[in-house]
Amino acid sequence: MSHTGRNIVIGGEAGQGLVTIGQMLTRALIRSGYEVVVSQDYMSRVRGGHNTYSIRVHDAPIAAPAEAMDVLVALNQETVSLHKGEMAEGGIIILDAALDPEGARAVPVPFKDVAPRPIFENVAALGVLGSLLGVDRPTVEGLVRETFGKKGDEVVGQNMKVLDDAWKWAEAHRASCAALPAPKGPKGRMMLHGNEAIALGALAAGVKFCSFYPMTPATSVAQELISKGRKLGVVVEQAEDEIAAMNMALGATYAGAKALVPTSGGGFALMTEGVSLAGVMEAPVVIVLAQRPGPATGLPTRTEQADLNLALYAGHGEFPRAILAPATIEDCFHLTHAAFDLTERFQTPVFVLTDQYLSDSYRAVAPFDLDALPPVAEPDFTPGGGPKFKRYKRYELTESGVSPRKVPGFTETLVLADCHEHTEQGNITEDAGLRNAMNDKRLRKGEGLRKLCIPPRVIGDAKPDLLLVCWGSSEGPVAEAADLLRAKGRSVGVMSFTQVWPLDPAQFLPALRAAKEVVCVEGNATGQFARLLRQETGFEVSRTLLRYDGRIFTPGWLAERLG
């Protein structure tokens, strides 16, 4: 087996219910106490095509998807044809008895007998899977009851019957598939994907306003805030375009509300003028940039890490920013929370740079301990300060570069936020000296940001021969690839950056220099982070290992190329 745990893949056309089956099974596994890494591979269409929903499941922590399939649920013939060559040793295909297994090891299910109507096939598949994998049956039953509860007892009863039939049918076929080992994880964990975690992190930080224009894979951040955050007092506005979304957010933070803007590359490109406005206006704003492959429309539903340069340099003129790049679902939560603090403390845009893979990847995550979170900076809501009915020094020249940020309406003094070069009060100036002073002031905030920057996570061997450098969502696959290489006797370490800007070379340069070989692993074609490292430190990595076909890194794919 090329990976630990079990890789269960459900494949079929969009609209056939593969996500429903996948999500129900994922939830059942998490409730049972398993660890999972879900990866979703879908096309830019609503019906038809070929999509997969993959659950790698294990009884111990895992951090990446796998390639070889242990169980493939094929909802159509195409799925069999496409993937029969990707089955792991001993893997089985579960498929309708009417389909042709094309010579692969298979468990043909008489779905027509088990499910009285096509609508029940999802539950039937769940029953077969649950039974074959040896998932705790009461857990699955509870889930089915819960799922259909709203539709009344009759529907629940019908589904329970299907589940029972399927489960029993499969029991007779247990031999074809080893049951999962007993779960070891705690109960009570959430089934959470990256974008949900970002939304929760924003809520925990006190987000009050979200303006967005729909764009895959960022939409679900806004969607979570709509479906769930609404009750917690968040105003979510679907804007006419991304330009409006960004400029609205700046209006919101001006008015004292913490604001979030989720988008993807093309939408973000339209926001870049607004990012520059935030820079000079010193407006806090958290931008979630969920990457997908470009240029332009590219591969709209796939994953990539090619918008690092865009995030680094978006906006004309020069101003500081911070870019956080979550590697895990927990990071999505905590870094988003931290982003709100940073953006308010330094009054400059802060990015959460994620990607489609992480956005859509469900994991088992313990509920976050809200009481353990650090406080989030607030603007100055106090009524005093500044002259009454006259402008206070919104852009007061300070040593840190940060000026007290008062909120209009909460005070008798006036707040003037401005887009030109300006005086301390925010009035237009063309004075060369003031320009220098203000530009320096703004850039000084970058130094403050640098002092607080999060050091890279170091995983594996402390003084390795081979040091793998990565950032954002690649950490999991890279860390597991390192394990695979170590298992072959190599000395391998991982340096994973969850903050990619600003960088503090003191935190990592010695380790880079100490390693015999440094390979930078990135989901793009030009090695953007490796170039950034060189720009900031002069250090040139030994080589880059790049993937840019829209598909995610897997430990196997990486180990093969590093082996």
Partner 1 sequence: MDIEVYGEYKKTAWCPGCGNHDVMKAVRQALAGLDLAPNKVAHVSGIGQAAKAPHYIDLNGFNGLHGRGLPPAQAIKLCNPELTVIAQSGDGCNYGEGGNHFLAAIRRNVDMTLLVHDNQIYGLTKGQASPTTPEGQITKSQPDGVRNAPFNPIAVAVAMKCSFVARSFSGNTAHLVKMIQLAIQHKGFALVDLFSPCVSFNKVNTYGWYKQRCQELPEDYDPTDWAAAMQVAQEFGERIPIGVIYRNDRPSLDASLPVLQKGPLGRQPVDRDGLRALMQSYT
Ligand X SMILES: Cc1ncc(C[n+]2csc(CCOP(=O)(O)OP(=O)(O)O)c2C)c(N)n1
Residue ranges that bind a second copy, judged by CB under 8 A: 43-44, 243, 264-266, 268-270, 272-273, 275-277, 279-281, 293-302, 304, 306-307, 309-310, 312-319, 419-421, 428, 430, 432-433, 435-436, 439-440, 442-443, 524-526, 531-532, 534-535, 538, 540, 548-551
Task: Report CA dihedral (55, 33, 496, 473) to the nearest 10 degrees.
Answer: 30
Query: How far, in Å, CA of 305 to CA of 355, rounded?
Result: 7
**Scanning residues 242 to 301, which ones bind partner 1 (CB under 8 A)?**
243-252, 254-259, 266, 273-274, 277, 281, 296-297
Please, which residue, 46 or 432, has the CB nearer to ligand SF4?
46
Residue 7 sits at φ, ψ, to 5 deg, of: -110, 110
Please, which residue, 217 or 456, has the CB nearer to ligand X?
217
* Contact region with ligand X (CB under 6 A), list: 60-68, 152-160, 221-229, 262-270: 262-270
* Contact region with ligand X (CB under 6 A), list: 3-11, 212-220, 248-256, 533-541: 212-220
Please, which residue, 158 or 219, has the CB nearer to ligand X?
219
Task: Report CA dihedral (289, 295, 299, 304) to the nearest 10 degrees.
Answer: -50
**Is residue 181 at the binding interface for ligand X, with CB under 6 A as the rule?**
no
Query: How far, in Å, CA of 385 to CA of 413, rounded?
Result: 7
Tell me, rounded to whole angstroms, the distance of Cα 62 from its chain centroid.
Answer: 16
Residue of 121, 74, 123 whose CA lies nearest to 99: 74
**3-state DSSP assignment of residue 57:** strand
**3-state DSSP assignment of residue 327:** coil
Task: State the number of binding residues for partner 1 (CB under 8 A).
Answer: 93
**Is residue 149 at the binding interface for partner 1, with CB under 8 A as the rule?**
no
List of residues contacting ligand SF4 (CB under 6 A): 46-47
Residue of 498, 503, 407, 394 whose CA lies nearest to 449: 503
**Is residue 118 at the binding interface for partner 1, with CB under 8 A as the rule?**
no
Query: How far, in Å, CA of 475 to CA of 498, rounded?
Result: 9
- Three-class SS of 506-519: HHCHHHHHHCCEEE
**Is residue 267 at the binding interface for ligand X, with CB under 6 A as the rule?**
yes
- Taking the complex as a whole, the smallest distance from the CB of residue 317 to partner 1 amounts, in Å, to 13
Could you say which of 213, 254, 346, 497 contacts ligand X (CB under 6 A)?
213
* Contact region with partner 1 (CB under 8 A), list: 63-71, 200-208, 472-480, 523-531: 200-208
- Taking the complex as a whole, the smallest distance from the CB of residue 276 to partner 1 amounts, in Å, to 9
**Is residue 404 at the binding interface for partner 1, with CB under 8 A as the rule?**
no
Q: Which does 183 bind (CB under 5 to 8 A by kind): a second copy, partner 1, ligand X, none?
A: none
Which strand (E) or helix (H) includes residue 181?
A: none
**Is residue 268 at the binding interface for ligand X, with CB under 6 A as the rule?**
no
Contact (CB, 8 A) for 225 and 202: yes
Query: How far, in Å, CA of 358 to CA of 273, rounded?
Result: 27
Please, which residue, 349 or 460, has the CB nearer to a second copy?
349
Degrees to nearest 5, angle at CA 337 with 332 and 338: 100
Could you say which of 181, 214, 404, 455 contacts ligand X (CB under 6 A)?
214
Burial zone of 173 (CB within 10 Å; 0-12 exposed, 13-18 middle, 19+ buried) = middle
Match 């890490």 to its residue by tokens: 305
Please, which residue, 267 or 460, has the CB nearer to ligand X?
267
Query: How far, in Å, CA of 41 to CA of 53, rounded?
Result: 6
- Taking the complex as a whole, the smallest distance from the CB of residue 172 to a second copy amounts, in Å, to 39
Degrees to nearest 5, angle at CA 534 with 530 and 535: 115
Could you say which of 87, 114, 215, 494 contacts ligand X (CB under 6 A)?
215
Cis peptide before 217 (omega within 30 of 0): yes
* Contact region with partner 1 (CB under 8 A), list: 53-61, 241-249, 462-470, 539-547: 241-249
Amino acid at site 487: A
Q: Which does 213 bind (CB under 5 to 8 A by kind): ligand X, ligand SF4, a second copy, none?
A: ligand X
Please, which residue, 297 or 535, has the CB nearer to ligand X?
297
Please, which residue, 365 or 453, has the CB nearer to partner 1?
365
- Taking the complex as a whole, the smallest distance from the CB of residue 117 to a second copy amounts, in Å, to 32
Residues 6+ positions from 336 with CB-CB distance below 8 Å: 197, 198, 201, 202, 205, 286, 288, 324, 326, 352
Residue of 51, 36, 37, 22 whose CA lies nearest to 129: 22
**Scanning residues 231 to 260, which ones bind ligand X (CB under 6 A)?**
242
Parallel/antiparallel/unpaired status of strands 48-58 and 35-41: antiparallel
Query: How far, in Å, CA of 357 to CA of 304, rounded?
Result: 8
Q: Which two tokens stand for residue 206?
A: 């006190």
Could you say which of 108, 142, 206, 266 contacts ligand X (CB under 6 A)?
266
**Scanning residues 286 to 315, which ones bind ligand X (CB under 6 A)?**
297
- Taking the complex as a whole, the smallest distance from the CB of residue 422 to a second copy amounts, in Å, to 10
Please, which residue, 215 or 518, has the CB nearer to ligand X?
215
Please, which residue, 81 or 427, has the CB nearer to ligand SF4?
427
**3-state DSSP assignment of residue 352:** strand
Please, which residue, 27 or 422, has the CB nearer to a second copy?
422
* Contact region with ligand X (CB under 6 A), list: 161-169, 207-215, 436-444, 490-498: 207-215
Paired strand residues for 29: none
- Taking the complex as a whole, the smallest distance from the CB of residue 202 to ligand SF4 amounts, in Å, to 29
In the complex, the residues that contact ligand X under the rule CB under 6 A are 213-215, 242, 266-267, 270, 297
